[in-house]
Amino acid sequence: MRTVHFEHRDHWRNKVYPSPFHSRQKELNVLRTWSRWYDYLSVPAYFDATLEYFAARNACAVFDLTPMTKHVISGPDALPFLNRLVTRDVAKIKPGRVGYCVWCTDEGQVIDDGTIFHLEPGRYRLCSQEHQIDWLMINANGFDVDIVEDTHDVAGLALQGPTACATLKRMGLAGIENLTPFGLAHFDFSGTQLMVSRTGYTGDLGYELWIDPDHAELLWDRLFEAGELHNIRPMGSDALDMTRIEAGFILAGVDFMPAMHTVRPTHTRSPLELGLSWLVDFNKPLFNGRRALLEEKARGSRYRFVKLDIEGNKPANNAYVFDRREKNIGWITSAMWSPSAKKNIALATLDMPHGKIGDEVLVEIYYQRELKWSRVMANARVVKDPFWDPPRRRLTPPADF
Amino acid sequence: MINRGEKMIIIGGGHNGLVCAAFLARAGYAVTVLEAASQVGGAAVTHEFAPGFKVSQGAHLLYLLDEGIRKDLALDSHGLKMAGTGLATTSISAGGDYLRINGDQLDGPGAEPDDQAAMPEYLRMMNRFAGVLQRLHNRTPMRLGTTDRGDLKALARLGWDIRRMGKRDMREFLRITGINVYDVLQENFNSELLKGALSLEGVLGTFLGTRSNNSVFCALQRMSNGARYDLPAGGMGAVSEAIAAAARSHGAEIRTSARVRRILTEGEEACGVELEDGSVIEARCIISNADPKTTFNRLLGAQHLEAGFAHRVRNIRSNGCVAKLHLALSEPPRFTGLPDEFTGDRLVIAPSLQYVEHAFNHAKYREYSKDPVMEITVPSLHDDSLAPAGQHVLSAVVQWAPHNLKQGWSEAKVAFTGRVMDVLAKHDPEIRGKTLYSELLTPADMESGFGMTGGHWHHAEMAMDQFLMMRPVYGAAQYRTPVNGLWLCGAGCHPGGGVMGSAGRNAANAIIESAGG
């Protein structure tokens, strides 16, 4: 693992690095507010989270992904290693493709979710929200596999929104419009390699750009230069959170407790309880949690993860959910007023058997109006589809702007 | 589901594997035992280490063999005989004092009146506590966190076993079981020779010093069959041979020189074994008498297990600490101050608690003891089949000799043998002159010779966190493993090491029960 050579040599005091894009972020960070995202400083909002959100939905927005935990997994057993680790069949992720996945404990409880990039035949990158190197090393027992955490060696930017493709084209990435969702492409960039994946956390047209940290600032500059006419904006984590709720994506530590950080055994969640059964491939002979998940499938899950369409416009953060007889049946994990869907939306965990598509429930929302607290029992309906899922998300080539 | 008549394979013909085979064969199953060595017995074997001199190569005293197994398999009618029974323990010293422990009687110049008075009560207490463990030995461990009636009943029974000891004994049981022998012996006795000798019950065969917690637990475990030391006629190999004969009489097939290379799986099912010679034997029930690390990491491969389970297996503590010294002697040893009539006792060199603790200290730093502790037998005094007439063999368990020795055993073996002989010579100055031939087996030798990870006699350290439903690890403590059709039956399972046989019989019972009786 390479040590990052930043000007701030005293990072050991708190082990928080400035991101390789820090010099550029600093200039744009009007609010001068920073948060910690594991090893890095991250920007919650540069100026106004809602405006940044609208940039992502109506133009394009840039989000610094560098703090994502990254690993390179290679060696003769890389594929069997990953297939034992995650619940889906990694053999189906061909070279040059990316796959979303979750991984579990032996008890079938989700440790984290992330993406596997099949960089080249037999060589993979695993990106995760949480630090995973301990669990990966534990998993390496019995496999001929090389695992390197290279979080600090790769700088990442997400470019998300309808004008993202046009911006990259203008930056000179020839043929980028032909990249299909979950595809990978490589480009020469000022003497280094720029990897672009058509992936993201916004549920919209978008790309993620991966480069060595020495070229990070140049990438930022070229991107903003090319994006000027396409209304490019920086985006902080608050705006990103809004987009991911609209897309129905879960967030570790918010919508579920990562199993390794959970003390009480009933507070963890299985993939089936997070609406991720499509990621679990029981045709694989063995993966961590398979036996437990098979049992769960036969016995029935404890919880159901649902999307709620709530009446009114008061965001239902931290709310309890009740059935029609006002019996508590669960709680909201993420909620917002969705400006794009024009709906009051939420993600929630409900006790089984509640939460079938179309079920009507009540949400107890507390809200403040000019400091005065009020409470409403709002009607809500369990819905199937994400609140934001535009056709351009999948369209290849995307429309030009 | 296994049908009667369907082939079962037992990997390893150690005593537990043979016991398991005998009980399965007796219940009508077609069992084949595959033993890597040319003789059965594993570490319970008799071995001719010099022309005409034979000795028990691993364990040299029989003190835990389950009476029920001995009876059910009619081992006595299959040739099991004792050359010596109820051996007294005699603590010897370089100064010539000695102390003889014969049941609850203390004799010899080292015996003190206070200790003589305290001994019966100490033994009563320890034997009573050991009885609680003993009652757990012949059952499959209960699982925690289930609502299964059998599990709950077994837990309640354990609770009742402790509770019914009465307030005073229960309190004492709960107080001392987790602590160390040093403290308990200091509370009860004065004589250093006595305390040193008794402390060995807690630390022999372990990576524990007298002041290490768990050592009382180990002492109770060792004393769980009445703390009676027997010497089988013909050495420990005779025990294994008798069990093998019983197994054969019930129809079990036992193949020696058949080393298993790996366990074959199909999906999550065990489907057979591949031998070193490349041949494959198919079976849907594979029972491993090998230690858990060998079974899961080497024979099966950790990649065939879920990662959390494989990680627990990797973390099993199995750093063997015991070396074994064998001497071929031209005449019997004669220890300073010790009357000749007692030379056939179980002799211990553990002259004080401090001596034993210091001997252990080295092991913590991956060194061998400068002044090792020894448990010595001269079996040829009881059994003339072991040595030519008038000549003798001495067998000594020597501690501590950690498997993970800093400089490695190939380098250190000669020097350590020298240290051991020096310590012996302090007690019998003539010993070097009488020695015709000597052999020292280090944990490294036992690992390669017996296939035990870390050369650990008990396959996995005996300790409360590696006992009962946690032995060898949670998820395999009921003899069944996460791989369907693969079972464990060795000392790495409950109730653990020592030539006991209970793990083998419990495994057989669990398999028979899973097949529907």
Check which CATH number belongs to the domain holding A136 and give it: 3.30.70.1400
Whether residue A53 lies inside any domain: the answer is: yes
Whether residue A109 lies inside any domain: the answer is: yes
Which chain A residues touch B308 with a CB distance below 8 Å? Answer: 105-107, 138, 288
**Does residue A263 belong to the interface with chain B, where contact is any CB pair within 8 Å?**
no
Whether residue A389 lies inside any domain: the answer is: no
What are the pLDDT digits (tens) for A329-368? 999 999 999 999 999 999 999 999 999 999 999 999 999 9
My answer on whether A231 and A89 are in the same domain is no
pLDDT value at residue A12 = 56
Structure tokens of B43? 């570490």
Nearest Cβ partner of B308 from A77, A106, A143?
Answer: A106
Q: How far is CA B166 from CA B169, B171, B191, in A?
A: 6, 8, 30
Tell me how far apart the alpha carbons of residues A338 and A336 are, in angstroms, rounded to a whole number. 6
Which of left, alpha, beta for B145 (phi over 0: left; psi -120 to 50: alpha)?
Answer: left
**Which of B446, B449, B349 shows the shortest CA–CA distance to B401?**
B446
pLDDT value at residue A8 = 47
Which chain B residues touch A80 with a CB distance below 8 Å? Answer: 303
pLDDT value at residue A16 = 86
What are the pLDDT digits (tens) for B485-505? 999 999 999 999 889 999 999
What are the pLDDT digits (tens) for B398-443? 999 999 999 999 999 999 999 999 999 999 999 999 999 999 999 9
**Distance between A141 CA and the closest CA of chain B, angstroms:** 6
Whether residue A400 lies inside any domain: the answer is: no
Which of left, alpha, beta for B54 (phi over 0: left; psi -120 to 50: alpha)?
Answer: beta
My answer on whether A141 and A187 are in the same domain is no
Instruction: State which H helix or E strand residue A100 sits in.
Output: strand A98-104
Domain count, chain A: 3
| Rounded average pLDDT over A229-246 | 97
My answer on whether A264 and A341 are in the same domain is yes
Query: What percent of chain A is predicted at pLDDT more than 90?
Result: 93
Check which CATH number belongs to the domain holding A159 and give it: 3.30.1360.120
Identify the structural domains of chain B with CATH numbers, from first to last: 7-42+67-79+234-317+452-514 (3.50.50.60), 114-222 (no CATH)
| Rounded average pLDDT over A253-266 | 94
My answer on whether A212 and A348 are in the same domain is no
B16-54 burial by CB neighbour count: b if 16+ within 10 A, else e? bbbbbbbbbbbbebbbbbbbbbebbbbbbbbbebbeebb
- Residue B294 is given by DSSP the state I
- Rounded to 5°, the CA angle A114-A104-A241 comes to 35
My answer on whether A125 and A193 are in the same domain is no
- Cβ neighbours for B183, distance < 8 A, ≥ 6 positions apart: B211
pLDDT value at B1 more than 60: no
What are the pLDDT digits (tens) for A154-165? 999 999 999 999
pLDDT value at residue B181 = 98
My answer on whether A320 and A190 are in the same domain is no
Beta bridge partners of B101: B89, B106
Report CA dihedral (B138, B140, B146, B152) to the nearest 10 degrees. Answer: -20
- Cβ neighbours for B344, distance < 8 A, ≥ 6 positions apart: B84, B87, B377, B378, B381, B382
pLDDT value at A380 more than 70: yes
pLDDT value at residue A14 = 61
Average pLDDT over chain A reads 94
- Cβ neighbours for B121, distance < 8 A, ≥ 6 positions apart: none
Residue reference for tokens 């927005």: A61
My answer on whether A158 and A46 are in the same domain is yes
Binary contact (A291, B475; C-beta < 8 A): no
Tell me how far apart the alpha carbons of residues B347 and A142 are, in angstroms, rounded to a whole number. 45
Domain that holds residue A337: 259-269+302-383
My answer on whether A106 and A49 are in the same domain is no
Which chain A residues touch B146 with a CB distance below 8 Å? Answer: none
Nearest CA in chain A to B267: A285
What are the pLDDT digits (tens) for B300-330? 999 999 999 999 999 999 999 999 999 999 9
Whether residue A297 lies inside any domain: the answer is: no
> What ipTM was predicted for this assembly?
0.91
pLDDT value at A237 more than 50: yes
pLDDT value at residue A26 = 96
My answer on whether A88 and A54 are in the same domain is no
> Please, which pLDDT band fits residue B2 given cuts at 50, 70 and 90?
low
Nearest CA in chain A to B300: A142
**Does residue A268 belong to the interface with chain B, where contact is any CB pair within 8 Å?**
no
My answer on whether A264 and A346 are in the same domain is yes
Window B:332-391, CB contacts with A under 8 Å: none
**Does residue B268 belong to the interface with chain A, where contact is any CB pair within 8 Å?**
yes
Tell me how far apart the alpha carbons of residues A392 and B12 are, in angstroms, rounded to a whole number. 64
Binary contact (A138, B311; C-beta < 8 A): yes
My answer on whether A265 and A375 are in the same domain is yes
pLDDT value at residue B494 = 95
pLDDT value at A284 more than 70: yes
Could you write out the DSSP letters of every residue in A345-386? Answer: EEEEEEETT---TT-EEEEEEEEEETTEEEEEEEEEEEESS-
Torsions phi, psi of A178, nearest 5?
A: -85, -5
Whether residue A25 lies inside any domain: the answer is: yes
Q: How far is CA B503 from CA A299, B15, B133, in A?
A: 33, 10, 14
**Which of B17, B66, B111, B91 shows the shortest CA–CA distance to B451?**
B17
Nearest CA in chain A to B265: A285
What are the pLDDT digits (tens) for B216-247? 999 999 999 888 999 999 999 999 999 999 99
pLDDT value at residue A13 = 61
My answer on whether A339 and A265 are in the same domain is yes
pLDDT value at residue B91 = 98
Across the A/B interface, how many CB contacts are shorter than 8 Å?
52
pLDDT value at residue A10 = 54
Check which CATH number belongs to the domain holding A314 and give it: 2.40.30.110
